[in-house]
Amino acid sequence: MSTATLDLTAVTAAAAAAAKVTAAASDAERAAWLTAVADALDANVTELVAIADSETNLGTVRLTGEVGRTTAQLRLFAKVITEGSYLEAVIDHADPSATPPQPDLRRILRPIGPVAVFSASNFPFAFSVAGGDTASALAVGCPVIVKAHSGHLRLSERTAEIVIEALASAGAPGGIFALVSGREAGTALVQDPAIKAVGFTGSIPGGRALFDLAVSRPEPIPFYGELGSLNPVVVTSAAVAARSRELAAGLAGSFTLGAGQFCTKPGLVFIPEGTDFAARLAEASKDKAAAPMLTERIAEAYAPGLKSVADQPGVTVVSGIVEQDSLADGAAPVVFSTTAANVLERPGELLEECFGPTTLLIEYSSQEELARALAKVPGSLTATVHAEPQEDISALVEQLSELAGRVLFDGWPTGVAVNWSQQHGGPYPATTSLFTSVGATAVRRFQRPVAYQDAPESILHPALHESNPLGIPRRVDGVLKLS
Amino acid sequence: MSTATLDLTAVTAAAAAAAKVTAAASDAERAAWLTAVADALDANVTELVAIADSETNLGTVRLTGEVGRTTAQLRLFAKVITEGSYLEAVIDHADPSATPPQPDLRRILRPIGPVAVFSASNFPFAFSVAGGDTASALAVGCPVIVKAHSGHLRLSERTAEIVIEALASAGAPGGIFALVSGREAGTALVQDPAIKAVGFTGSIPGGRALFDLAVSRPEPIPFYGELGSLNPVVVTSAAVAARSRELAAGLAGSFTLGAGQFCTKPGLVFIPEGTDFAARLAEASKDKAAAPMLTERIAEAYAPGLKSVADQPGVTVVSGIVEQDSLADGAAPVVFSTTAANVLERPGELLEECFGPTTLLIEYSSQEELARALAKVPGSLTATVHAEPQEDISALVEQLSELAGRVLFDGWPTGVAVNWSQQHGGPYPATTSLFTSVGATAVRRFQRPVAYQDAPESILHPALHESNPLGIPRRVDGVLKLS
């Protein structure tokens, strides 16, 4: 499927027309649309997983789980909008006695308008056609146009058919959802005046190019990009001393999971110098099988990526083989090692993401050196610390909090819970915004505030009616009330 | 005062160092800092107003009121952070029985880091050195570096002295606040790696140039610009029929207030064709005195601005004199008139802001034509409708809601309440973000979310401790709780 420019204009015009209907729809209606999509995906799980497996090599177990994650996500957003806090309804009553006199003012968040969503290669369901960006935009009343990922085009088309049919049969307006494909269509979408925001999950170069387009429009629009992440892990001396083998097993499981194709893969592991951890990790990694990667392009890029790390001065191979034919044989795990001093010397070369089952151990000689090396690590989705209870890690945790959107203790970053508290987004380049792309608050990306001054109640959204007919949390005259 | 590049690097480095202290400070401490600044400004009001009056021509009554607005604003933000909702604390407890098992996850908003604030010409207090951007950034724990406006440099320096002294005596860290001046310092500030966000109030060309710098950094940062606004007003036939004289008097008062130098000045007024409204407005405007403008540059730009409107085909002068010497004589009110059909023909020429006491009446012949002309109006801070109770204005209000951040009924947009519900920000070019620069939620611009997974309580912000020692509103396991 290729989308000509003329077609695209029709698609975005239909989305703009639908936006008027979706903005006026009630939360209950939109919740029903989301639920209908979730039900339809669940009903077609076998067919969808089969297509996805043929296109992505991810295997039916993982893919079936991912469909479950995707439909749970749609249902969470239905719950979020039903709960009502997401509207951030605020009422300040008039105060004629104030100096100056205060008008009646009522504020609410409204849908921003049609949203373009760029699918990810590595999550053909959860970050693709009916994934988190789509679900959170639809939830708050924004039509969505998805740019399919070339790595799973057939799945994208089939998923889109199911989504469109489910939305229509649940009463959603035509034009609320569309799928386009091809690089040109994606570029045109970001520049189309009807598009009011963009959600993107992908590479740094690709994402930055689209970000640059979005912000250089005559009317710049928010570009919510998740562009890559190194996900540093710090292991303390005490932790290595206490549980080196367990840590090595955990890390081996995490960096090889899904052939290392997660945006939360731990790509940098800071360990104290002079321990047995590298040997333990080599042992724990050696049985991890080679696995086929998502696409030919990704598989072909893995070995050169490994080589560019291996070629750096001061880098040694702890386990695995750099020169591999990942396309023919699957991607096999490789563990590298270097020193923090070396990272400080060539941060640009060593602190770069290598997509696939590989990680870089970085030996530090002191807390001070660790802090200096961490200061060179670009913004990440996650940062992890493994320490023992008696240690004072407050300064380290503070530094990691500045570096990442999620800070983990004694765990591994792969695995991202979909709930109210999740933060999947960190300082640039991890994301290009102050928001999350996973979890309840992801909806805020697609809302803009409007305040109504001295408005007749009949014209206001029910959330702002005096009697609170929706029974939702609101702030009234400065005081938060639950209903 | 001019700030060399070397000085600036020292200033931003000091801010970055202070950021560690301000981030760790408690809400109570930061509230005390804000209150100390407010108290100090109040204590020096006479001196400050005298300097401001000598630099801006705004008069002591207006300026004294503006100091009150500024200190009330500082105190509001102290209240906002004490209340605690602004942290958006969310706790999801672990659920080992879930598939997959859910970790304990706790999310909070943290300060983004040092913020650059560009002062406005037209509010030497409320949108300047100790204005809303500064107050909201300090409130959440971000150090601030203000770029002074050249129109009130002496006031800026004196205000900064008072702010710095008040902050220091209240126990705030050195480096938390600084003032720089000069165009080069401003440009360098936006590009400085230590600066993590920018607040700006000013012109569209100036703001867009800085926005472009902010988003094209290696690490792009949010640029919160308020860049100008036309503030369309729509008057219905029924409203004109019912109260033409009263509406004309209200409009005349609003567009000439403060010599028309408000970002919320009603610059476009849509009226039905064939009414007496223009004559009424001419009558109501004729006694409005000429007033000195803020700066020489602004005064010198007013007459050419008027002329560029007057020179457009199909534009007539309803009242006032286009060829005036605003620098010598003050800016005198001018009312123009044209048709919606003409606006549709030359939107680029007619829908441009003219800073000063002037407004453009636009006669519409039908609701349909009105809607088409409104669709050409760029994003605005406000949009106003004057209608009679029996009229169905829902479609019109919906269109105005898409156009502006604040929709007013039977009022005038000048006058911006500082409270929890305010939204001072609209679609581009009114603002470059989805946020407000006035009111409680302005703080969200300078916060970024971080989630802590399976963290020991001792390492967490008290807002995330199990027992809720701060007694603030939080969402726990999906349920919003007041304390």
* Predicted pLDDT of residue A210: 98
- A379 is written with which tokens? 């913004």
Asked if residues B431 and B260 have their Cβ atoms less than 8 Å apart, the reply is: no
- Residue in chain A closest to B225 (alpha carbons) equals A220
Select the residue of A220, A398, A459 nearest B428 (Cβ to Cβ).
A220
Select the residue of A83, A100, A103 nearest B411 (Cβ to Cβ).
A103
**How many helices (H) and strands (E) in chain A?**
16, 17
- B316 is written with which tokens? 């007539």
Residues B362 and B336: their CA atoms lie apart, in Å, by: 9
Residues in B closer than 8 angstroms to A449, CB to CB, are 405, 423, 425, 434-436, 441
8 Å CB contact of B453 and A409: yes
Instruction: Return the amino acid letter for A142.
Output: C
Q: How far does B412 lie from chain A, in Å, by closest CA?
A: 10
Report residue A117 CA to chain centroid gap.
Answer: 12
Kindly name the residue from B226, B353, B363, B369 that is annotated as catalytic. B226
Residues A177 and A165: their CA atoms lie apart, in Å, by: 10
8 Å CB contact of A449 and B404: no
Dihedral of the CA atoms A429, A432, A434, A436 (nearest 10)? -90
* Predicted pLDDT of residue B98: 85
Q: How far does B395 lie from chain A, in Å, by closest CA?
A: 10
* Predicted pLDDT of residue B100: 80
| A431 pLDDT more than 90 | yes
Q: How far does A92 lie from chain B, in Å, by closest CA?
A: 6
Select the residue of A423, A449, A454 nearest B411 (Cβ to Cβ).
A454
Taking alpha carbons only, the member of B180, B184, B173, B181 closest to residue B142 is B173
Q: What angle do CA A302, A304, A306 make, to 5 degrees?
A: 70
Chain B interface disruption, residue of A453, A464, A474, most B CBs within 10 A: A453
The pLDDT-based confidence of A1 (bands split at 50, 70, 90) is very low
Taking alpha carbons only, the member of A222, A91, A85 closest to residue B88 is A85
Name the strand (E) or helix (H) holding A245: helix A237-256
Domain boundaries, chain A: 5-227+432-481, 232-409
Size of interface A-B (CB pairs under 8 A): 204
* Predicted pLDDT of residue A7: 87
Kindly name the residue from A226, A353, A363, A369 that is annotated as catalytic. A226
Residues A464 and A474: their CA atoms lie apart, in Å, by: 9
* Predicted pLDDT of residue B1: 42
8 Å CB contact of A405 and B448: yes
Asked if residues B373 and B270 have their Cβ atoms less than 8 Å apart, the reply is: yes
Cross-strand partners of B67:
none
Contact residues for B322 (Cβ-Cβ < 8 A; gap 6+): B303, B306, B307, B310, B334
Residues in B closer than 8 angstroms to A216, CB to CB, are 212, 215
Residue A231: C-alpha distances to residues A59, A384, B93 (Å): 25, 8, 23
Question: Considering the domain B232-409, what is its CATH architecture?
Answer: 3-Layer(aba) Sandwich (3.40)
* Fold of domain B5-227+432-481: Aldehyde Dehydrogenase; Chain A, domain 1 (3.40.605)
Helix axes B45-56, B27-43, angle to 10 degrees: 70
Residue A430: C-alpha distances to residues A227, A238, A424, A426, B198 (Å): 5, 30, 9, 5, 20
Query: Helix, strand, or coil here: A107?
Result: strand
B226 is catalytic: yes
A231 phi, psi to nearest 5 deg: 50, 65
8 Å CB contact of B478 and A420: yes
8 Å CB contact of A454 and B409: yes
8 Å CB contact of B102 and A417: yes
Residues A113 and A22: their CA atoms lie apart, in Å, by: 9
Residues A263 and A433: their CA atoms lie apart, in Å, by: 17
Q: What is the mean pLDDT of residues A193-203?
A: 97
Select the residue of B112, B393, B408 nearest A453 (Cβ to Cβ).
B408
For chain B of 483 residues, list the mean pLDDT of each consecutive stretch of 10.
66 98 97 98 98 96 97 98 98 91 97 98 97 98 98 97 98 98 96 98 96 98 96 98 97 96 97 97 94 95 97 97 96 98 97 96 98 98 97 97 98 95 97 96 98 97 98 98 96
Strands B447-453, B105-111: pairing kind:
antiparallel
* Predicted pLDDT of residue A5: 53
B219 is catalytic: no
Contact residues for B436 (Cβ-Cβ < 8 A; gap 6+): A449, B405, B422, B423, B424, B425, B442
* Predicted pLDDT of residue A170: 98
Q: What angle do CA A118, A121, A126 make, to 5 degrees?
A: 75
Select the residue of B92, B406, B459 nearest A419 (Cβ to Cβ).
B92
Q: Find tokens 């950034």 and name the residue.
A: B137
Select the residue of B409, B427, B456 nearest A409 (Cβ to Cβ).
B456
8 Å CB contact of B411 and A88: no
The pLDDT-based confidence of A333 (bands split at 50, 70, 90) is very high
Kindly name the residue from B263, B353, B354, B369 that is annotated as catalytic. B263
8 Å CB contact of A454 and B406: no
Q: How far does A317 lie from chain B, in Å, by closest CA?
A: 31
Q: Flag whether the pTM goes above 0.90.
A: yes
The pLDDT-based confidence of A285 (bands split at 50, 70, 90) is very high
Q: How far does B414 lie from chain A, in Å, by closest CA?
A: 12
* Predicted pLDDT of residue A184: 95
Question: What is the average pLDDT value for chain A, to the nearest integer?
Answer: 96
Query: Helix, strand, or coil here: A147?
Result: strand
Q: How far does B9 lie from chain A, in Å, by closest CA?
A: 18
The predicted-structure confidence for A50-100, as pLDDT tens digits, reads as follows 999 999 999 999 999 999 999 999 999 999 999 999 999 999 999 999 878
Q: What angle do CA B117, B118, B124 make, to 5 degrees?
A: 110
Q: Find tokens 């708050």 and name the residue.
A: A140
Asked if residues B375 and B232 have their Cβ atoms less than 8 Å apart, the reply is: no
8 Å CB contact of A454 and B410: yes
Residues in B closer than 8 angstroms to A23, CB to CB, are 398
